[in-house]
Structure 1
């Protein structure tokens, strides 16, 4: 089981401080992931964003919960919390989910943008291949 947080020291200048939204960072990461890890599925968890009250109530009744990480890679039991390259923060609900997922032997990484997410996935794969 792994829990990893952002590696700001290794985040490249290309995304750091650009003011790009979490949506843009996540979209670029998913595109990169699917090109580089063909056959490994990654899915988005639609638990964020602005919604009207009726839609929010319907989604809550269907099981949507605050704080669930943004992405999941089932083959690796890996949950990915995407944050902007700068300024993103973990909410108490997110931290609670991270703790829960770790307690059931799931892997969780928290990223600071697209570049950091790539680095953390590469580290995760290296660790996994080394038997970690």
Structure 2
């Protein structure tokens, strides 16, 4: 990090900001109340990880789901990344491709601001693809 640069927010902080934004916008867009996080990531002990896998947790599933049909799509999935740094894994790329093939709008967003713009576009407030 350079002397005058701010640190890059973690994915967790970006996601918290996105859900705070969504809560604020629910008055205008009540559908945002359906948006939720899919907790597939994170560090876990081996026992918990094995149990969650048996319960159906799968590697690569996008972080966020908005189960609202719009613009010919069944719903929106977002793989949220921090603004600078890490990219998607092969599993994440496979999930995004498969979800798109099944009629969902599945995308990668860098930072909560990009994600909020994509959500508004999806809900019909901006330019859709």
Give the TM-score of the pair, scaled to structure 1: 0.79
Name the CA distance, whole Å, in 1 between partners of 2:8 and 2:127. Answer: 36
1:65 match: secondary structure: coil
Compute the displacement of 1:122 (Å): 2.5
Instruction: Flag the structure with more relative contact order, 1 or 2, with Cα contacts below 8 A and sequence separation at least 6.
Output: 1
Give the TM-score of the pair, scaled to structure 2: 0.80
> Aligned pairs, how many?
116
Cross-structure match for 2:58: 65
Alignment counterpart, residue 111 of structure 2, candidates 110, 113, 117: 113
81-90 vs 113-122, which deviates more? 113-122
- 1:13-58 Cα offsets, whole Å, 9 max, x none, are xxx9632110000011011012213421111101000000000000
**Higher Cα Rg: structure 1 or 2?**
2
Name the CA distance, whole Å, in 2 between partners of 1:95 and 1:68. Answer: 9
Alignment counterpart, residue 53 of structure 1, candidates 24, 38, 46: 46
Residue ranges of structure 1 left out of the alignment (5+ in a row): 1-15
**Does the CA-based 8 Å contact 2:122-2:128 persist in structure 1?**
no
Residue ranges of structure 2 left out of the alignment (5+ in a row): 70-74
RMSD of the TM alignment (CA)?
A: 2.2
| Runs of 4 or more above 4 Å deviation | 129-132
2:77 match: secondary structure: strand
Name the CA distance, whole Å, in 1 between partners of 2:128 and 2:118. Answer: 16
Name the CA distance, whole Å, in 2 between partners of 1:123 and 1:111. Answer: 13
Compute the displacement of 1:119 (Å): 2.0
Compute the displacement of 1:75 (Å): 1.3
